[in-house]
Chain A
């Protein structure tokens, strides 16, 4: 035992691993080949997707099927598909008969902006809307950025935000939307595009002129412009924010309703046709309730349209990755029912669109 002192030194090198290790969560990768790749199989609503700045992750709103109130959470998934990770969820113990919705995630610069609202069990129009900021990590504590409703300088009421996204590191852009009457109405429609400046101690709203009845908006990658559509209009507009100059990126033609534009380089993606739900009849003047449409790509300038969707789905809210190689979109399955007369002859085909969407990765 002359060198017994060596023993403790040898023992110092021994390491212990945790007895149970890290469990393997979820699926770990995309299911099946593609594109198109079906990213979600959730029986609830998955939507309002957005890309991380580096294109590595997709953020979206997912309905928690284990929540008795069917709440919706902000989750994150690897760009190619696989398991989702919850980032922000309504408190699970608030089984209060209200569906609490966190949606429209806007990731950027290490934080995520998102919108919140509540929906009563026997109601159709969400209420109590707000915009929140939270660190981009699971279950961080959020801070309130903007509460609704408020009145615009023109006297209109903005009850909720739609198409929430970052224009620049300190500025959010969204469409201020009006709710329909009395919380029992199904209609929520865009009223005007708003820029929300968060650089100071108090958020400041800037209302973009000429964007009344905007139906969708996209922030340009460099933050210098916004691309938008107007309810019932076939054109996609571009407005340079510094000068206020507005031009038309593309016109899909008379009688067609364009929405959800996404411009990447010279490629323009948009949703056209389908069930746009636009009506100009009183008292619902200029209301557009969108149930989805065809997903098309246009090579600008003046290029032809290419339908990149599939005939079994209608689509909404396409989002192109920062690098332009990926496009995630909400897909609403369609089903057809043949209406037969007494002789068994098909007299009509009734096509219905699913209420809930799944996310699809359409291109790489």
Chain B
């Protein structure tokens, strides 16, 4: 806390004003109406009833910065002229909205002229240098998506949560101008909080050229801007489900959304949303049914057991005006994600498979103040973020109260030991855990492949907490130039606990419990100038980052890492097209999980332990990009981006000897990404709109994740010589060469179709379709044991995938209450996309010979007869009915059937068709 106060004091003394990615700018010229309209000097421009006020300069130009993304009202008045108001001006985050006024002379003082629904064009704005793909709240509502993440994944360059070929966790989130990141394990874990879509004004993905104001990312920023509460009370209640759809489409989904916003006394506005969802099969699979009639998956049922999930996201925001020039915004967000994880080995002993729970708290405060005269805008933000992760064996069967909702936290064995970081208790066998054995509850009975009696005994817990404070200021520097300054400080607390095989004491083959407890911190400063002269715009920025990791190691002071990252962009408008050339260096601190030891089960035999490296430095990327933007028609825009990224300092595992368990994390990986993107968009008008994107990309590196052993050097076991293999790069796990996305949305005419019982069923029908095609991701072939790669890493390719999603919505009216019913269908064609193959065969299935060999091996390991009274006895397998299942003739078919059951390629396919029916009510 002392460092937090000290850091804040430094920033305050620096008095550097800062800017916000969640805000935009409006600028324009105020003239006299008429062909020879003169610029009006000193005209008063007021935004949102005087919350922001400025006057035009000698050229008649005005500029208002740091407007929160969303709808605003702008009023212009000048003596002797009739005032004008523009209602519903949409300000977009990170963009400059040009808006001119032409005032009529008004010698007798007429009423102000209201002009509504002004459409603005920001596509060609040369000051919008970043690659930004945005989705407004209305966009998200029309799309067959349920979360902000699903909407962002529709962006060009996105492969799940990998952006432009980067690894997972190389992005950062900006929530209302405040950075947000799970700095502990973003590459392997979730953020921990989810913003309900009903809170959004807009969400966007920024893949390059993002301002020096933001860091903690080398691949992309996900920018989220929440809306303020309205000036009149309104709300929405919605319920979605797939229950009535029959066995093949019923995955036990229930989702409830409740939201309301409106004014409170003293001009305060409130926005609150609760978004609750549960699904009994949270990760449904589209695998073919089993062929053996004794396999429970042979009847076509597609739900996997022990795969339920429940999520709760609660958010509230207060907008508090503090006088004419200050606004305080407080945002609170709490998320819980609790799910049962399906483990094929526990198919018949489901309660023993692991449970996972992630909880997150976020509180952000934002105070914005404008200083007229010098026209300075300052933003002070303070935030607290707390994320906890827990995974282990449940203490009891979940008590489902409604669908997949339990409404309570499922207890996990040993969680109190984990939270206390009690290594003494943890190094002994954990209470309540015993060793697993072969399951005796399978249809086959034989002791092979499937586990029972007890869980695998793993227990993982971690907590990441962060206090963050940020100060931004923006200053006009004359003409069309703005200066931005700022800084940020984060005080963090990391605690981790990892234990495997908790039913055994630590020692021999069981690694010691890995724990950590340390308080890192991070800080940054930036300066950026953005200016425009005629049709040329220049943005130059510099960012300084610093972080300090582990301070808990005896005899070793925490090492502080520092870095400077320049950003440069030049843009110009030529013949109606905007060209942008940008260069930027981006850096992020590595996941803190790599600063501490890691214990894990590694099936590729690259070890079960990694030593943490407290001296890890920044991961970085250098990106060059050329962009072209045009507007062929008033409703259509097109963009082409050509980019080259060089990745460096990525974390990988470095062996210190021939034993993989001696590996340590190091900044030893490098890679490169090259690509070109095309995006064409027709804005929604006259009943339809569309967005089409295509990306061609190549992403290569030495290794795709930090746990992959990267041999920076090798020691010859015979001679002892040290050799350095060539620095060869291979396709990254997220190297998708081709991706195509088409989104088409439309609304039918209000007078379409016949009238039935006073209603036109086909009128005002909203429909949206999303088609996605993607070429296959790479994979590595291995030998049968899985400990050696055949050929080069990632030289195999999965098949391509395609999917079609559809949303149909029909607005309704229930007296004074509005609403709609909707049908949301993902993968409507139920296409069985292959998303993985077996590394040893390169195919989905094991060969028949391999299956037989696995069965024979299991039989040889346990050839004992199964007596009548054994729970393994299966009467139908006792062919001679002598009270024993014995001998090769009776036992071997059972082992073969068990092998076929266990090695079903359940998870090698993407999701099946997912349908949900929804109803919503709005007031």
Give chain A's interface residues, CB within 8 Å of chain B. 1-2, 4, 7-8, 10-12, 14, 16, 18-21, 23, 25-27, 31, 38-43, 65-66, 77, 81-85, 91-93, 139, 141
Extra contacts, 15 of them, besides A25-B440, A41-B868 (Cβ < 8 A), are A1-B821, A2-B814, A4-B812, A4-B814, A8-B241, A19-B304, A20-B297, A23-B442, A26-B440, A26-B872, A31-B883, A41-B869, A65-B865, A84-B869, A139-B453
Cβ B347 vs Cβ A20 within 8 A: yes
Cβ B241 vs Cβ A65 within 8 A: no
Q: How distant is A332 from chain B, measured CB to nearest CB, in Å? A: 17
Cβ A8 vs Cβ B239 within 8 A: yes
Contact mask for chain B residues 865-881; partner A; CB cutoff 8 A; 1 contact, 0 none: 10111111101000000
CA–CA, A19 and B250, complex, Å: 11
Cβ A11 vs Cβ B347 within 8 A: no
CA–CA, A27 and B431, complex, Å: 33
Q: How distant is B858 from chain A, measured CB to nearest CB, in Å? A: 12
CB-CB < 8 A to A14: which residues of B? 243-244
CA–CA, A21 and B301, complex, Å: 12
Cβ B437 vs Cβ A41 within 8 A: no
Top-10 shortest CB links A-B: A41-B867, A20-B296, A65-B864, A26-B871, A19-B303, A25-B871, A41-B883, A41-B868, A42-B867, A14-B243
Cβ A66 vs Cβ B243 within 8 A: no
Cβ B871 vs Cβ A139 within 8 A: no
Q: How distant is A347 from chain B, measured CB to nearest CB, in Å? A: 35
Cβ B812 vs Cβ A1 within 8 A: yes
CA–CA, A7 and B440, complex, Å: 43
Q: Within 8 Å of chain A (Cβ to Cβ): is B919?
A: yes
Q: Within 8 Å of chain A (Cβ to Cβ): is B9?
A: no
CA–CA, A82 and B867, complex, Å: 11
CA–CA, A85 and B296, complex, Å: 23
CB-CB < 8 A to B437: which residues of A? 92
Interface centre among A14, A23, A31, A65 (most CB of B within 10 A): A23
Cβ B864 vs Cβ A43 within 8 A: yes
Q: Within 8 Å of chain A (Cβ to Cβ): is B518?
A: no
CB-CB < 8 A to A25: which residues of B? 440-441, 871
CB-CB < 8 A to A26: which residues of B? 440, 869-873
CA–CA, A81 and B868, complex, Å: 10
CA–CA, A25 and B870, complex, Å: 9
CA–CA, A330 and B875, complex, Å: 25
Cβ A83 vs Cβ B867 within 8 A: no
Q: B434 touches which one: A4, A23, A31, A91 (CB < 8 A)?
A: A91
Cβ B305 vs Cβ A11 within 8 A: no
Q: B868 touches which one: A27, A65, A66, A92 (CB < 8 A)?
A: A27
CB-CB < 8 A to B347: which residues of A? 20
Q: Within 8 Å of chain A (Cβ to Cβ): is B350?
A: yes
Q: How distant is A18 from chain B, measured CB to nearest CB, in Å? A: 5
CB-CB < 8 A to B441: which residues of A? 23, 25
Q: Within 8 Å of chain A (Cβ to Cβ): is B443?
A: yes
Cβ A23 vs Cβ B243 within 8 A: no
Q: How distant is B703 from chain A, measured CB to nearest CB, in Å? A: 34
Q: Return the chain B residue nearest A65 by Cβ.
A: B864
Cβ A39 vs Cβ B869 within 8 A: yes
Q: List 9 A-B contacts (CB under 8 A).
A: A7-B244, A12-B402, A16-B403, A19-B304, A27-B869, A40-B869, A42-B870, A66-B438, A141-B431
Cβ B871 vs Cβ A91 within 8 A: no
Whether A77 contacts B304 in the complex (CB less than 8 A), given A41-B884, A66-B447, A66-B862, comes out as: no
Q: Within 8 Å of chain A (Cβ to Cβ): is B348?
A: yes
CB-CB < 8 A to B869: which residues of A? 26-27, 39-42, 77, 81-84
Interface centre among A10, A66, A82, A139 (most CB of B within 10 A): A66
Q: A11 touches which one: B244, B304, B868, B870 (CB < 8 A)?
A: B244
Q: Within 8 Å of chain A (Cβ to Cβ): is B252?
A: yes
Cβ A19 vs Cβ B244 within 8 A: no
Cβ A11 vs Cβ B243 within 8 A: yes
CB-CB < 8 A to A41: which residues of B? 867-869, 883-884
CA–CA, A23 and B305, complex, Å: 13
Q: A16 touches which one: B239, B280, B821 (CB < 8 A)?
A: B280
Q: Return the chain B residue nearest A82 by Cβ.
A: B869
CB-CB < 8 A to B252: which residues of A? 16
CB-CB < 8 A to A42: which residues of B? 867, 869-870
Give chain B's interface residues, CB within 8 Å of chain A. 239, 241, 243-244, 250, 252, 280-281, 296-297, 301, 303-305, 347-348, 350, 402-403, 431-432, 434-435, 437-438, 440-443, 447, 453-454, 504, 812, 814, 821, 862, 864-865, 867-873, 875, 883-884, 919
Q: How distant is A83 from chain B, measured CB to nearest CB, in Å? A: 5
CB-CB < 8 A to A84: which residues of B? 869-871
Interface centre among B252, B280, B305, B869 (most CB of A within 10 A): B869
Cβ B821 vs Cβ A4 within 8 A: yes
CA–CA, A26 and B875, complex, Å: 8
Whether A27 contacts B873 in the complex (CB less than 8 A), given A43-B864, A92-B435, comes out as: yes
Cβ B435 vs Cβ A19 within 8 A: no
CB-CB < 8 A to A27: which residues of B? 868-869, 873, 875
CB-CB < 8 A to B821: which residues of A? 1, 4
Q: How distant is A359 from chain B, measured CB to nearest CB, in Å? A: 9
Q: How distant is B401 from chain A, measured CB to nearest CB, in Å? A: 11
CB-CB < 8 A to B241: which residues of A? 8, 11
Q: How distant is B228 from chain A, measured CB to nearest CB, in Å? A: 31
Q: Return the chain A residue nearest B759 by Cβ.
A: A1
CA–CA, A2 and B872, complex, Å: 57
CB-CB < 8 A to A65: which residues of B? 864-865, 867
Q: B350 touches which one: A20, A39, A66, A77 (CB < 8 A)?
A: A20
Q: Return the chain B residue nearest A46 by Cβ.
A: B869
Whether A43 contacts B435 in the complex (CB less than 8 A), given A4-B919, A14-B244, A16-B252, comes out as: no
CA–CA, A18 and B306, complex, Å: 8
Q: How distant is A8 from chain B, measured CB to nearest CB, in Å? A: 5
Q: How distant is B352 from chain A, measured CB to nearest CB, in Å? A: 11
Cβ A43 vs Cβ B862 within 8 A: no
Cβ B296 vs Cβ A139 within 8 A: no
Whether A23 contacts B870 in the complex (CB less than 8 A), given A18-B305, A65-B864, comes out as: no
CB-CB < 8 A to A11: which residues of B? 241, 243-244
CA–CA, A20 and B906, complex, Å: 15
CB-CB < 8 A to A91: which residues of B? 434-435
Q: How distant is B863 from chain A, measured CB to nearest CB, in Å? A: 10
Q: Return the chain A residue nearest B308 by Cβ.
A: A16
Q: How distant is A322 from chain B, measured CB to nearest CB, in Å? A: 22
CB-CB < 8 A to A16: which residues of B? 250, 252, 280, 303, 403
Q: Return the chain A residue nearest B348 by Cβ.
A: A23
Q: A19 touches which one: B301, B431, B814 (CB < 8 A)?
A: B301
Cβ A83 vs Cβ B434 within 8 A: no
Q: Return the chain A residue nearest B280 by Cβ.
A: A16
CB-CB < 8 A to A82: which residues of B? 869
Interface centre among B281, B403, B437, B867 (most CB of A within 10 A): B867
CB-CB < 8 A to A4: which residues of B? 812, 814, 821, 919
CA–CA, A21 and B440, complex, Å: 15
CA–CA, A26 and B439, complex, Å: 12
Q: Return the chain B residue nearest A11 by Cβ.
A: B243
CA–CA, A11 and B296, complex, Å: 26
CB-CB < 8 A to B303: which residues of A? 16, 19
CB-CB < 8 A to B431: which residues of A? 141
CB-CB < 8 A to A31: which residues of B? 868, 883
Cβ B919 vs Cβ A8 within 8 A: yes
Q: How distant is A61 from chain B, measured CB to nearest CB, in Å? A: 13
Cβ A66 vs Cβ B864 within 8 A: yes
CA–CA, A52 and B871, complex, Å: 20
CA–CA, A7 and B921, complex, Å: 14
Whether A43 contacts B867 in the complex (CB less than 8 A), given A19-B303, A23-B442, A66-B438, comes out as: yes
CB-CB < 8 A to B873: which residues of A? 26-27, 83
Q: Return the chain B residue nearest A42 by Cβ.
A: B867
CA–CA, A31 and B884, complex, Å: 11
CB-CB < 8 A to B280: which residues of A? 16
CA–CA, A41 and B873, complex, Å: 11
